[in-house]
Amino acid sequence: MNIDAKEIELIVQKVLENIDVKTLSTPKADNGEDGVFDHVEEAIEAAYQAQRRWVKDYNLEDRKRIIAAIRRVSEEHAEELAKMVRKETGMGRYEDKVKKHLAVIRKTPGVECLTTDAISGDEGLMIEECAPFGVIGAITPSTNPTETIINNTISMTAGGNAVVFNVHPGAKRCCTYCLKLLHKTIVENGGPANLITMQKEPAMETVNTITASPKIRLMAGTGGMGMVDALLRSGKKTIGAGAGNPPVVVDDTADIPYAAKEIYRGASFDNNLLCLAEKEVFVMDSVADQLVEALEKEGAYLLNSRQLEVITSFAMLNKDGIFQINKKWVGKDAALFLEEIGICDHKDTRLLICETDARHPFVRLEQLMPVLPIVRCRTFEECVKQAVLAENGNRHTSSIFSKNVDHMTIFGKEIETTIYTKNGATLRGIGIGGEGYTTMTIAGPTGEGLTCARSFTRKRRCMLAEGGLRIV
């Protein structure tokens, strides 16, 4: 092929023009404000560059130091954050939100859980290490908004990752404040800018952009099943922490006053906003009266069938016989429900209880309200069967009050939940009054369980053959 000088010049010019266009369309990574960007593409690019620095220029001691600073600053602001979340979302209880913040601040593990597996044998030394994914896209819920940002920031950056958050639009002000606070702390303590980022106006479309970006190597979604399913359908590797509807079984060997105390505490905590909070009780007939009486002694208000009917009519939306929760009533105080039905002298009650059958929408739907249905069952086996149906395959959380070890084992095997609490409020299962670490991202659907830094890493194997480095 013969090409003259003029043609070559034209080709070169075209190539240069193209390079120019590409350079212009690359998102800028330097125009965010404390990690908050106008455009999600910029938030992704900035986090990408920060993550490269986080793994190249910083070591594990740096990660430890910066995470310690995040804990310190978050604890100083725990009350303020709890107040902001309560004000913006209008859900839950301030004093419980303070406890949730302190739990994630103090009990989310850092780099210490990034342990190395090793096998040493005749054919050499094999080690498997926890390596970062890169940039993680994290979707956060309205029910634990800033708690999830703090928890995910510690876990994900401890694992060597950067994070682009897509927060719930209904909690964007408190989340933006929290993200900027943590971002400033990272930078003031010598860490890279934009290790955590978000888009100023989060929306469903931004979730799609994050998921589709080749620079995002992992999605971590904390919220309802609609969101988790959407992430799983996207084809991107996903850690999905979805809905729960935790049942409680109470058998005839249980310490009933103690069970009532724990159930009251757990089901009323933050007005039942926690995905792992007790949502319905299946109790053996022979101890049902005793349990209801004991719950009333703890402070619960027992609704009669008429009162329950009225509450169901406004707290649930009935579309042609199919019930959905009315989001306006999610996480509201028990006293507000009572006021709505004309009862104004029970301002201190934190929990409403009611007797229902197993098919009632308050049993079958994850309602996130301080209204606890109690279902009488003739036998233990019936309790188990109904509890499994109510849990709906979420594999999230369940609990039992019993002194019968066989019952504990049978229910545990049948229910298959990620968290299974015996003789205690379910919130003990995430380390609030129980052993073990805390997380706000409980990945039942995808199987990572209670997530920590290790969950947000990928395994890399290094093999030293020929006995290299072995000393035995």
Using the rule CB under 6 A, is 402 a contact of ligand NAD? no
Which of 441, 446, 455, 457 contacts ligand NAD by CB under 6 A?
441
Using the rule CB under 6 A, is 243 a contact of ligand NAD? yes
Smallest distance, Å, CB 167 to ligand NAD?
6
Q: Dig out the tokens for 11 from the structure.
A: 């080709």
CA–CA gap between residue 265 and residue 424 (Å, rounded): 10
Using the rule CB under 6 A, is 272 a contact of ligand NAD? no
Closest CA to 277 of 339, 186, 209, 370: 370
Is 168 within 8 Å of 142 (Cβ atoms)?
A: yes
Smallest distance, Å, CB 350 to ligand NAD?
20
Name beta bridge partners: 222.
241
Smallest distance, Å, CB 222 to ligand NAD?
5
* Phi and psi torsions of 64, nearest 5°: -60, -45
Instruction: Give the CB-nearest residue to ligand NAD.
Output: 223
Q: Dig out the tokens for 309 from the structure.
A: 């009917």
| Beta-sheet pairing, 449-450 with 442-443 | antiparallel
Using the rule CB under 6 A, is 77 a contact of ligand NAD? no
Q: Which residues contact 176 (CB under 8 A, 6 or more apart)?
A: 36, 167, 198, 200
Using the rule CB under 6 A, is 242 a contact of ligand NAD? yes
User: Per residue in 134-153, is it b (16+ CB within 10 Å) or e — as a string?
Assistant: bbbbbbbbbbbbbbbbbbbb
Using the rule CB under 6 A, is 246 a contact of ligand NAD? no
Which of 142, 152, 161, 271 contacts ligand NAD by CB under 6 A?
142
Say which residue the tokens 């409020």 belong to: 425
Compare residues 141 and 191 and give the one whose CB is closer to ligand NAD: 141
Smallest distance, Å, CB 406 to ligand NAD?
30
Using the rule CB under 6 A, is 241 a contact of ligand NAD? yes
**Contact mark string toward ligand NAD, 158..197, x via CB under 6 A:** --------xxxx----------------------------
Smallest distance, Å, CB 227 to ligand NAD?
4
Using the rule CB under 6 A, is 331 a contact of ligand NAD? no
What is the DSSP code (8-state) at residue 454?
G
Residues 362-381 that bind ligand NAD (CB under 6 A): 366
Smallest distance, Å, CB 459 to ligand NAD?
23
User: What sign for the dihedral angle of Cα 383, 316, 419, 74?
Assistant: negative
Which of 74, 144, 153, 438 contacts ligand NAD by CB under 6 A?
144
Q: Dig out the tokens for 291 from the structure.
A: 């349990």
| Amino acid sitting at position 74 | S
Using the rule CB under 6 A, is 449 a contact of ligand NAD? no
**Contact mark string toward ligand NAD, 203..232, x via CB under 6 A:** -x--x--------------xxx-xx--x--
CA–CA gap between residue 126 and residue 124 (Å, rounded): 7
CA–CA gap between residue 106 and residue 70 (Å, rounded): 10
Instruction: Say how far residue 260 (Cα) sits from the centre of its chain.
Output: 27
Using the rule CB under 6 A, is 442 a contact of ligand NAD? yes
Smallest distance, Å, CB 172 to ligand NAD?
9
Using the rule CB under 6 A, is 275 a contact of ligand NAD? yes
Compare residues 32 and 141 and give the one whose CB is closer to ligand NAD: 141
Compare residues 224 and 467 and give the one whose CB is closer to ligand NAD: 224
C-alpha dist (Å) from residue 243 to 229, 273, 388, 393, 413: 11, 11, 15, 10, 20
Contacts with ligand NAD, residue ranges (CB under 6 A): 139-144, 166-169, 204, 207, 222-224, 226-227, 230, 241-244, 275, 366, 440-442
